[in-house]
Chains A and B, each alone.
Chain A
Amino acid sequence: MLSITNLTKIFNPGSVNEKAALTGISLEVEPGDVVTVIGGNGAGKSTLLNMIAGVFPPDKGKIIIDGQRVEHLPEHVRASYIGRVFQDPMMGTAASMTIEENLAMALRRGARRRLRRGITNGDREFFREKLSLLGLGLENRLSTKVGLLSGGQRQALTLLMATLVPPKLLLLDEHTAALDPNTGQKVLELTEQFVKENNLTTLMVTHNMEDALRVGNRTIMMHDGKIILDLSGEKRKNTGITDLLEMFKKASGQTLANDRMLLAN
């Protein structure tokens, strides 16, 4: 479903701030795979997701989604393949617009915007049904402005928007990190539910080692713009958090001494 070959990105080349964000990454993801991505700060996880989504073009390398070369397509064109949820709950929704308007925009993801009514009564029925899956009571608040919702509610809504039209690829960038633990857990449960129902091919960046091993069927670890570990199948099942930290140390020569990662367990 997703095939990445030799993807390279260097920020500010030739200056003192030169930063090799991705150094020749290759990755094959099968349809229906749910891959969790872990790694320290600056490992290139977010850059990888941004490159796949098309926020900036690669210096070198190929990205193929569902048989289509996409690395030179602009972000808004790639949007027809990709659903995204960002770390910041404010980033995935338009605050001054209502819940139903936000959902209506998500319903037209990748389609041409026309001069026809943005929301039909049929859409509203569909939105109510989908919103009730979130269990937050939002199905009765269709015309509430999104800015009035809490961070957790907005993130759940963003998740629903990203999967409303099932994308070929779902990109989740630490999407529970900015939420309190209970809300984060709830959003993660919803994520697993939506991914399973639609059999979505997913890349999920997380800093929570436990989630990284529990959610999905494959885990990759990044360091310094490279993939240093790729776990799946039996091997992944038999790996614990301490094993993971040990593997990181062995592969990178450093400890994954990140309070946030350890405390998150």
Chain B
Amino acid sequence: MAASMWFGVLEQGLLWGVMVLGVYITFRVLNFPDLTVDGSFTLGAAVAARIIFEGYDPWLGTMLALFCGAAAGCITGFLNTRLRIAPLLSGILMMIALYSVNLRVMGGKSMLSLLRMDTIYTDVVGTGIPENLAAAVLGLGTVILTTYILYIFLQTELGMALRATGDNEQMICSLGVNTDTTKILGLALGNGLVALSGALVAQYQSYSDVGMGIGMIVVGLASVIVGEVIFGTSTLFRHLTAVVLGSIVYRAVIALVMRMGLPTTDLKLFTAVLVVLAMSSPLIKEKLGRLSRGKEGSQGAVNNKSYENI
């Protein structure tokens, strides 16, 4: 019982880990609070499910999901850079618009079942991998490949321009980079990964649901922060690995609290509280430190790794 629970944690951590890498790109690298994620996760699930439902190749559906997510990210980027709509609002608008789009993609139904249909997992089982390992193997493969590609990409000229756009826009602009382009590129990349994760998850649980992306941004954020706090961010490679591991840790925490009796319906509340605690932890630490030091020690500066800017 316990062993199978931990195995499920690993599977989920890996499959949703692709989404967490996407959130890492927009939130951390690009420093863009992108709420499109809630819509693009479902978009990926919907596109893959519909393609499979219509009897086409599941790999085609999964790839198409990636591109549709990237397109959604491009539109958010367009709203923000060309139409000068604030980042938060651009994302919210896209998230709402995608809700209708996702319903259309699923043929007007709020749920599309993939029971007894061929998915990428059944394909993997066909190559001789045991059925109970299929999701873990595919998840692990996807996460390793994605992490590796991101690691290489973020060190290319273009990737460095992307990171600098999130760090110091004025500076990289004065070095000749069109920051509108890099923002659109980053949002496309991030949302493409989020949609890919949605496609993997839909096939994993054998259905896509129009509400499955609700709160996804908070889940992504929780995983990113938990990973950063536990595993550190000193180098690019470490940071990337940390957020993936953060995704697994997050799933483990969720599995534990549910085992302890937390109703499924309270999960989103729990996740939100978790993110609030993680984000305010520098401030809380500071206050606690001040209390324990008594009245004289009042000058401890807040650790500037606080998350106020997101």
Contact = CB atoms under 8 A, between A and B. Distances in A.
Contacts of A106: 175
Among B168, B171, B174, the one with the most A-chain Cβ atoms within 10 Å of its Cβ is B174
Contact of B160 (A74, A76, A97): A97
Q: What class of interface size applies to chain A in its complex with B?
A: 20 to 34
Interface in A67-96: 74-77, 79-80, 82, 84, 86, 90-96
Interface residues of B, number: 22
A101 B167 contact: no
A205 to B, nearest CB: 16
B173 interface: yes
Contacts of A96: 163, 167
Contacts of A93: 168, 171
A106 B176 CA distance: 9
B48 to A, nearest CB: 27
B177 interface: yes
A80 B174 CA distance: 9
Contacts of A119: 155
A235 interface: no
Interface string B163-183: 110011011111111110000
Q: Is the interface of A mostly helix, strand, loop or mixed?
A: loop
Contacts of A116: 156-157
Contacts of A97: 160, 163-164, 167
Contacts of B168: 90-91, 93-95
B159 interface: yes
B contact face: mostly helix, strand, loop, or mixed: helix
Given A53-B174, A79-B176, A94 B164 contact: yes
B158 A113 contact: yes
Contact of B179 (A76, A82, A94, A117): A76
A222 to B, nearest CB: 22
Contact of A76 (B156, B163, B164, B173): B173
Contacts of B167: 94-97
A109 B176 contact: yes
Interface string A143-156: 00000000000000
A161 B163 CA distance: 17
Contacts of A261: none
A94 B171 contact: yes
B162 to A, nearest CB: 9
Interface of A: 53, 74-77, 79-80, 82, 84, 86, 90-97, 101, 104-106, 108-111, 113-119, 161
